[in-house]
Amino acid sequence: MVVILSVLWGGSFFFVGIAVAELPTFTIVFLRVAIAALGLHITLRVMGERMPAGAGIWRAFFAMGFLNNLVPFSLIAWGQSHVASGLASILLATTPLFTVIVAHFLTTDERLSGGRLAGIAAGIAGVAILVGSEALHGLGFALLAHVGLLGAALFYSFSGVFGRRFQRMGVTPLATATGQITASSLLLLPLALAVDRPWSLDMPSTATWLAIAGLALLSTSLAYILYFRILATAGATNLLLVTFLIPVSAIILGAAFLAERLQANHFIGMAVIGIGLAAIDGRIFKMLRRRRKSV
Expressed as residue numbers, the domain containing 201 is: 2-294
pLDDT band at 292 (very low <50, low <70, confident <90, very high): confident
Minimum mean pLDDT among 75-84, 152-161, 285-294: which range? 285-294
**What is the C-alpha separation between 177 and 216, in angstroms, rounded?**
13
- Please tell me the total count of domains within the chain: 1
What is the identity of the amino acid at 70? Answer: L
- d(Cα 181, Cα 106) in Å, to the nearest integer? 24
The C-alpha atoms of residue 12 and residue 192 are separated, in whole angstroms, by: 20
- Contacts for 105 with CB less than 8 Å, ≥ 6 apart: none
What local confidence, expressed as pLDDT, does residue 240 receive? 59
Q: Show Cβ contacts of residue 242 under 8 Å, excluding neighbours closer than 6 positions.
A: 2, 5, 6, 9, 230
Q: Is the Cβ–Cβ distance between 247 and 262 less than 8 Å?
A: no
Q: Where are the alpha helices (DSSP H) in 112-221?
A: 114-131, 141-162, 165-168, 173-191, 206-213
Higher pLDDT, 13 or 107: 13
Query: What confidence score (pLDDT) does residue 151 get?
Result: 95
Once rounded to an integer, what is the mean pLDDT over residues 257-278? Answer: 83
Please state, in angstroms and rounded to a whole number, the distance separating the CA atoms of residues 255 and 10. Answer: 13
- Mean pLDDT value of segment 233-260: 76
* In the predicted structure, residue 73 carries a pLDDT above the cut 90: yes
Buried-exposed string 3-25: b where 16+ CB fall within 10 A, e elsewhere:
eebbbbbbbbbbbbbbbbebbbb
CA distances to 89, 130, 188, 195 from 125, in Å? 17, 9, 35, 37
Phi-psi region of 69 (alpha: psi -120 to 50; beta: other; left: phi over 0): alpha
Check residue 155 and report its DSSP letter: H
Burial of 265 (0-12, 13-18, 19+ CB in 10 A): middle
Q: pLDDT tens, 78-114?
A: 999 888 888 888 888 888 888 888 888 888 777 777 7
What pLDDT score was predicted for residue 1? 81
